[in-house]
């Protein structure tokens, strides 16, 4: 098909290019007669207006880049999916920025906004992918950005988060209620806000129940399957073993459960197990996994909405914190004496 431009359509319809553009964007301001003429020309030629031309002129690409550590993680892919749904509703397209946990790549993707390829960024990371000049404010140095799920240290950035503290409290309290006193945790990286908050919830809840905090029971994972395996192996070596393990994500819990089962432990009779996220498989593994459900769809939806508001200069919530809910399933049970 011969590449048609607005010029050709104008010629075909016998009007100016301005009129063609108006027919497309503001049909109401062009008279019905000419509108029809133009529409006919468009239909007959199969004209598709070039978005690049428009974007260049309007300074709006209509794209947002989502910077996320790993699409392969079901928690992340769930969010991406939600963002995309909402993006489509609002007329945006999603540029996928899977960083593979690599800072350099995150920077590359962040630059897309500076190069005009994207209008804004949704960032899932505790680290801002920009080289900042400490003499200037953060906001004046970066493109429109919403910080989601994992918080950076910059309070001036709009954020959509989840109540990690409360989530961890609920999970820990649930275990305490079942009589557990030696509750281990397999965390995410210590330098992430999510892990810090969850850890705080864990500690506070233990403290309130009068249970001494034991550093041996705190293992640093990295939110990936294998670290669930590795850290659980370490825990089982302890002379005084935990009676429950609280993993800061479901993937690690799945890794943990594998090790436990392989070594002959029964879940939950020998050891209780709690996850975090409630990925789709949490209710399909054996035993089904008690976990803290994250409102993935809501998180993605709101993040995109917020970015949209920022891009339109309409006031946006500066900070949204979504509640978390403990889903009790079969992997937790009363402690055995």
Which listed residue (40, 44, 56, 208) binds DNA by CB under 7 A?
A: 56
What are the two backbone dihedrals, phi and then psi, of residue 161, each rounded to the nearest 5 degrees? -125, -175
Question: Residue 262's CB: how many other CB atoms inside 10 A?
Answer: 10
Question: Residue 185's CB: how many other CB atoms inside 10 A?
Answer: 26
Both tokens of 304, joined, read 């995109």
CB 34 within 8 A of CB 12: no
- Of residues 46 and 210, the one with the C-beta less far from a second copy: 46
Dist CA 63 CA 82 (whole Å): 16
In three-state secondary structure terms, 154 is coil
Nearest to 263 by CA among 235, 222, 291: 235
Q: Minimal distance in Å, beta carbon 309 to DNA?
A: 19
- Of residues 95 and 327, the one with the C-beta less far from a second copy: 95
- Per CB under 7 A, contacts with DNA among 242-271 are none
**Binding map of DNA across residues 87-126, x = CB under 7 A, - = no contact:** -----------------------------x----------
User: Residue 140 carries which DSSP code?
Assistant: G
Per CB under 7 A, 58 contacts DNA: yes
CB 273 within 8 A of CB 331: yes
Per CB under 7 A, 57 contacts DNA: yes
Could you say which of a second copy, DNA, none residue 25 binds, taking C-beta under 5 to 8 angstroms by partner kind?
DNA
Q: Minimal distance in Å, beta carbon 149 to a second copy?
A: 16
Rounded to 10°, the helix 6-13/17-25 angle is 100
Q: Minimal distance in Å, beta carbon 56 to DNA?
A: 4
- Of residues 77 and 152, the one with the C-beta less far from a second copy: 77
Could you say which of a second copy, DNA, none residue 15 binds, taking C-beta under 5 to 8 angstroms by partner kind?
DNA
| Stretch in the footprint of DNA (CB under 7 A) among 48-56, 106-114, 138-146, 301-309 | 48-56
CB 29 within 8 A of CB 23: no
- Of residues 34 and 117, the one with the C-beta less far from a second copy: 117
The structure tokens 């709101």 sit at: 302
Both tokens of 117, joined, read 């390829």
Q: Minimal distance in Å, beta carbon 41 to DNA?
A: 12
- Of residues 33 and 215, the one with the C-beta less far from DNA: 33
Both tokens of 322, joined, read 């979504």
- Per CB under 7 A, contacts with DNA among 160-199 are none
- Please report, as ranges, the residues that interact with a second copy according to CB under 8 A: 1, 48-53, 55-56, 61-63, 70-72, 74, 77-78, 80-81, 84-85, 88, 93-96, 98, 100, 105, 108, 111-112, 114-117, 140-141, 225, 254-255, 257-258, 261, 280-281, 284-286
The radius of gyration computed from the CA coordinates of the chain, to the nearest angstrom, equals: 26
Dist CA 68 CA 52 (whole Å): 26
Buried b (16+ CB within 10 A) or exposed e, 293-332: bbbbebbbbbbbbbbbbbbeeeebeeebeeebebbebbbb
| Stretch in the footprint of DNA (CB under 7 A) among 4-12, 101-109, 270-278, 303-311 | 4-12
Q: Minimal distance in Å, beta carbon 14 to DNA?
A: 7
The residues that touch DNA, with contacts defined as CB under 7 A, are 3, 5-7, 14-22, 24-25, 29-31, 33-35, 47-50, 52-54, 56-59, 116
């Amino acid at each position: 098909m011969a590449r048609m431009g607005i010029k050709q359509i104008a010629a075909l319809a016998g009007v100016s290019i301005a009129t063609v553009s108006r027919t497309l964007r503001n049909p109401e301001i062009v008279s019905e007669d000419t509108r029809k003429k133009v529409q006919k020309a468009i239909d007959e030629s199969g004209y598709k207006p070039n978005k690049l031309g428009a974007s260049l002129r309007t300074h709006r690409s209509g794209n947002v880049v989502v910077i996320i550590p790993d699409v392969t993680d079901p928690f992340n892919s769930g969010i991406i999916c939600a963002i995309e749904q909402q993006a489509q509703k609002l007329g945006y397209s999603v540029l996928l920025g899977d960083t593979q946990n690599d800072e350099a790549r995150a920077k590359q993707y962040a630059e897309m906004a500076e190069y005009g390829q994207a209008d804004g960024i949704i960032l899932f990371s505790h680290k801002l992918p920009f080289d900042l000049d400490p003499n200037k404010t953060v906001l004046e140095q970066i493109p429109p950005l919403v910080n989601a799920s994992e918080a950076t240290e910059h309070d001036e950035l709009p954020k959509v988060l989840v109540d990690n503290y409360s989530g961890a409290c609920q999970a820990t309290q649930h275990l305490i209620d079942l009589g557990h006193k030696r509750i281990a945790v397999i965390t995410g990286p210590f330098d992430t806000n999510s892990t810090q908050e969850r850890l705080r919830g864990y500690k506070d809840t233990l403290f309130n129940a009068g249970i001494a905090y034991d550093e041996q029971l705190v293992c640093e994972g990295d939110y990936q399957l294998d670290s669930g395996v590795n850290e659980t192996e370490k825990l089982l070596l302890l002379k005084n073993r935990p009676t429950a393990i609280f993993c800061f994500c479901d993937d690690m819990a799945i890794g943990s459960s594998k090790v436990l089962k392989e070594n002959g432990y029964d879940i939950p009779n020998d050891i209780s197990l709690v996850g975090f996220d409630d990925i789709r498989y949490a209710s399909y593994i054996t035993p089904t996994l008690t976990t803290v459900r994250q409102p993935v769809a809501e998180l993605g939806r709101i993040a995109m909405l917020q970015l949209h508001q920022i891009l339109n200069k309409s006031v946006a919530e500066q900070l949204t914190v979504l509640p978390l809910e403990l889903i009790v399933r079969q992997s937790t049970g009363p402690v055995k004496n």
